[in-house]
Structure 1
Amino acid sequence: MSRMSASTRRILQAATGLAITAALLLGCQAVVYVHNPDALWQIVSQSCVPSDAAGKGPGKCAKVSPDGYALLKDIRGQGQYLLIPTARVAGMESPALSQPGAPDYFLDAWENRDFVSKALDAHVPDALMSLAINSAKGRSQNQLHIHIDCMSQAMRNALSAYDDAAPGTWVDARLNNHFYRLMRVASATAKRVHPYDRVLKQAEAQGQAIGDHAIFMATAPGGFFVVDGYYQARGQNANPGSAEELQDHSCKDVGK
């Protein structure tokens, strides 16, 4: 084995120092998330659910619901939460989501949106609240999770260009310089929105795999927007399949 040069040793020492600093700043969970695609599932199944069942509270989670989901504070952003099924559900591509009587995880996520306001210690109006789930190719974790967080006023303004879209009709949209399809759903509550079912029908009609789609949900005049992002690897304005890009994890416009 050749002897390591002094300059190489200094570089490695500096890199190690940066890695340790990053771990201290972001917390050990951040490192686990990056290198372990099953991290979210392991947290929920090994910490949250067993602790709650033993009457010790929700463990690392903020909530474990008897309806089959847990809420976990995300390591990114001050207010972002993740809704995660307590059953093993890989993601958008999971057949369990399209079975009769399948849980409406989007409805569950929307009904728990106040957790974001509590984390920020500031009210997030529904007009700046959003939900997002990434495609199989646009995510880092192999357990379904819905991002519950703010969106920027700029994104709200971009969506407002489609306020007059006919309810129940898909229209082409460009958001964050990427191609999306968008539907305005006329509904007084989130109970009739059913984002997954609507995007599944859209995917099947186009002969596309549902796992290649991402979903974003936000309020619209008289209802909600369901935004469908289909993963495209190439082409100008191609979609990365990560609807999370439409959120603002800094929540910079809250309270303005």
Structure 2
Amino acid sequence: MRKIIALFAGLAALAGAPNPTAAFEGQAFGRNGLWRIVHGVCSPMSRLTGFAAPCLAVDRERGFATLRAPDEATHIIVTPLVRVAGVESASLLRKDAPNYWADAWSERHWIEQAVGHPLGWSDIGMAINSRDGRSQDQLHIHVDCVIPQVKTALARAARGRKGWFEIDLRRWSGIYRARRLSAEELDRNIFRMVALEISHGRDNMAGETIAVIGVDEPGAGRGFLLLVAGGGGHAEELLDHKCRVAGNVLRD
């Protein structure tokens, strides 16, 4: 009975918002809006009714929810069902931590559904903003199309590269450290990789912003570029919420 009361209380709190998911932009519940929607509404709704609304999906087995960002058709957000503040959370560095990056990549079909046709492997990217660059204090990975010019720049920069290298993306975001990943390496703990392989990374995780973007290199096959920048960055800037790579600009 308490769960049902809590569910209806959460729904009542959202009822006054023009768009319920706008709460996680800080318009209704501040920096805890995303957590309150997922924990207070989507998760219990899924458990009690089998429907995830207002989320797109709740995967209880793998422990995450998927939402569409307010008024952005292709922009989806993947977030844990448990409380995790953000990129700086120590629990993400455990060897047995859930692989939220792989979970987020598996949800890219929602983007294709929005544009109405399949997209290429390298058309899609994922990003997590630093602590100072985010609006919500619940870990969430942005998944969307890549800015077309960024896609071109990354394909050129990744060709034949091994190990970490620097790439200048200041036209869109900043200067990043980059590393080529095979498709199979997405099964690794990306947060732990950043903490251990980037100089002083473990001590400065709160300031790191991370992107994982698909690349499909001739001769090398499908993989990813892992992009990392410190200083409180905002890797979401590499994503295009109008999804121009789809061939048509989505209306606001």
Q: Same fold (TM over 0.5)?
A: yes
Distance of 1:175 and 1:219 partners within structure 2: 16
- The structural deviation recorded for 1:201 is 1.3
1:179 has 2:171 as partner: no
Distance of 2:46 and 2:144 partners within structure 1: 25
Q: Deviations over 1:87-144 (max 9, x none)?
A: 0000001111011210010001111111111122232211110000001011000000
Match of 1:70 in 2: 65
Which among 128, 133, 147 is matched to residue 133 of structure 1?
Answer: 128
Match of 1:113 in 2: 108
1:95 has 2:90 as partner: yes
| Percent identical residues | 30
* Contact 2:214/2:225 (8 A) holds in 1: yes
Q: Which runs of 5+ in 2 are unaligned?
A: 1-16
Structure 1 stretch displaced more, 211-220 or 194-203: 194-203
Match of 2:237 in 1: 245
SS at match of 2:67: strand
- The structural deviation recorded for 1:77 is 1.9
Structure 1 stretch displaced more, 209-218 or 29-38: 29-38
Q: Deviations over 1:41-91 (max 9, x none)?
A: 000000011111113411311111121100011114211110010000000
- The structural deviation recorded for 1:228 is 0.3
Distance of 1:82 and 1:131 partners within structure 2: 9
Structure 1 stretch displaced more, 206-215 or 56-65: 206-215
* Contact 2:67/2:76 (8 A) holds in 1: yes
Distance of 1:212 and 1:140 partners within structure 2: 14
Q: Which runs of 5+ in 1 are unaligned?
A: 1-22, 232-239
What is the aligned length? 222
- The structural deviation recorded for 1:166 is 3.1
How do 1:3-18 residues align onto structure 2 when only pairs under 5 Å count? none
What is the TM-score when the length of structure 1 is the normalising length? Answer: 0.80
SS at match of 1:173: strand
1:41 has 2:27 as partner: no
CA RMSD of aligned residues (A): 2.0
- Identify if the C-alpha distance between structure 1 residues 97 and 56 changes in structure 2 by more than 3 Å, giving closer, same or farther: same
Distance of 1:173 and 1:92 partners within structure 2: 22
1:230 has 2:230 as partner: yes
What is the TM-score when the length of structure 2 is the normalising length? Answer: 0.81
Q: What is the one-letter code of the residue matched to 1:44?
A: V
- Identify if the C-alpha distance between structure 1 residues 130 and 176 changes in structure 2 by more than 3 Å, giving closer, same or farther: same
Task: Compare CA radii of gyration and give the structure with the larger one.
Answer: 1
- Identify if the C-alpha distance between structure 1 residues 108 and 29 changes in structure 2 by more than 3 Å, giving closer, same or farther: closer
1:54 has 2:60 as partner: no
